[in-house]
Structure 1
């Protein structure tokens, strides 16, 4: 599903720029409606897996479309817009999790029915509000398309590499740390409360971060460095020989602070580096790099746990995160030096 989402991210970005922003959004939503709608009636094996893969493709197109539309807003800094997107998406996760807990008691088919209804509502919103949101046609001919300088390309490549690594780290929390907690005597309910804590932190702190958006936008590199460094430090808390529930909550607190700084900051950073004609395509690449990290993160973590230990995994996550941040800063420094030299 994650691999299919990567494909959807890339396709959605290209179609947004070169075909039609409005039709691309509708295409992604229609794929989501059809896949979840089919699962209402047929959700056994292998139908369930096949439909999830198709749903992942539609999600990839739709999420890239949302980010690409966000780049068109000129009344605010792009970082402010992406902060708000990240806030509302996490608020949706909180509400969605609550709905699932209530609806699941009636049967899994009602979960897919609820999702289908939500996607239909989203399509109606898109039909009404997205059609005139862009001066169409948005795409340009290949001869008139703008291209990025080599220095900018290098910076974007390295920040996308850091972004993928961050999701490899983050996915450990959504997969392998659950088994780590159970192995240490914690319950599944304890694990679920950790994610409730994460959601509460995001909802509480993201608006505060947005308030200081002007300063954060001017110091984007510092924002990214602090955010991704916090990602690395969060795993260090789990290296204590006797890990208590408080250690886990502190680790999640550090991770969440890094998350709200770094993850929406990457989309804003890339957007600030690319011309108008390429914004959809590069937002697709941003989403694709994150989806790639989500796809391989649980697999890498599971292999390291089985072959070595949880402690080795935590050290590994910290090292690869800090190393990728170092490489990104080196790339920014070198490319900026070359740009100054060319001037």
Structure 2
């Protein structure tokens, strides 16, 4: 049995560290720019959009370099870029330096995110589906840790936030430098040996992959409504910000509790991968149908619960589905496309939602999200039937 290029614990720990570090910074962007730097919400929105664009560029660059160059220096460059940006933010976080460094941080973080997913495709001791499931768990656990700690550290000063993030990126860089060295050799060995035939073939089932990535893209457009416009809707209904924050406590608790349970049934879920994706996106779709009737807090809790279950079922399975159908020489490229689809959905989601709300209403937005996810999921389902008929 071929050895893994790195020990799985280092890959999982790296995912946990980088997501914790980044979650110290990104949730504060709008608040910090508006309340501390006295820039308008429009300016903050533009900065976040540019940041998302550079994250997408980082996603693509990380995948391209992983395939056409070397994985080891690629991920080190990504971590180094994020580390330097966070370090400079400790001392220079005024306007416009803050915005520029945040955008550079997005570039580095985009490279790292794609590299981590791409490294998962080189693991041989466990099924890729298992690795992607655990990576999804560690990334969300990191976001939970970071978001919780920020609330206690921010009153001490914004410099402390950037210092902790910088420290975490330093730890990740040192860990990757010492433990990720086998990546290049492993990729070369696998290319020469086990998957030589696959290396000379093109990626299979490009249409299903494209339709699944489009479904992921629209799912993230919908998901972003929970992180942006739904908070305003709850305030409009007379609820407070504290209740809105409780929704994300529900989200975090479900991910921490349910994700390991699903990982336990990884073999069964891998055998029914398409069914897992269908069910996950169906839950996603249903969560917005619930919101149409939401007037009390309990309905929002129900909607968030259904959304999170759909997220846990579907999102890690996307990387697995794409990995199984991508040729070895294009593993990095296609994992980059997964992260790009998610990043693009996050980038345009708040704007699309705001335009629909301003032109129509919140219920119309919820119907739009539900219908959009349903349509693209059905397209993806149809691609499975076409394959079966061949």
Task: Give the Cα–Cα distance (whole angstroms) in 2 for the partners of residues 140 and 296 of structure 1.
Answer: 38
What's 1:215 paired with? 268
Equivalent residue for 1:128, pick from 172, 178, 184? 178
Moved over 3 A (4+): 136-141, 144-147
The number of residue pairs the alignment matches comes to 334
What's 2:298 paired with? 246
Q: Is the 8 A contact 1:155 1:335 kept in 2?
A: no
CA deviation after TM superposition for structure 1 residue 333, in Å? 2.1
Task: Give the Cα–Cα distance (whole angstroms) in 1 for the partners of residues 357 and 96 of structure 2.
Answer: 29
Equivalent residue for 1:258, pick from 299, 306, 310? 310
What's 2:169 paired with? 119
1:158-307 alignment runs, 5 A limit: 158-240=211-293, 243-307=295-359
Give the structure-1-normalised TM-score: 0.94
Task: Give the Cα–Cα distance (whole angstroms) in 2 for the partners of residues 115 and 322 of structure 1.
Answer: 39
Task: Give the Cα–Cα distance (whole angstroms) in 2 for the partners of residues 216 and 100 of structure 1.
Answer: 36
What's 1:62 paired with? 112
SS state of the match for residue 93, structure 2? coil
Once the two structures are superposed, residues 123-142 of structure 1 have per-residue CA deviations (whole angstroms, 9 ceiling, x without a partner) of 0110111111442564979x
Give the structure-2-normalised TM-score: 0.83
Work out whether 1:320 is the aligned partner of 2:364.
no
Q: Is the 8 A contact 1:20 1:136 kept in 2?
A: no
Q: CA 1:208–1:49 in 2, change beyond 3 Å: closer, same or farther?
A: same
Q: Is the 8 A contact 2:199 2:328 kept in 1?
A: no
Show structure 1 runs of 5+ residues with no match: none
Once the two structures are superposed, residues 151-205 of structure 1 have per-residue CA deviations (whole angstroms, 9 ceiling, x without a partner) of 6111111110001011001000011111111111111111111101100000000
Task: Give the Cα–Cα distance (whole angstroms) in 1 for the partners of residues 109 and 374 of structure 2.
Answer: 30
Show structure 2 runs of 5+ residues with no match: 1-50, 193-197
Which structure would you say has the larger RCO, counting Cα contacts within 8 Å and 6 or more residues apart? 1
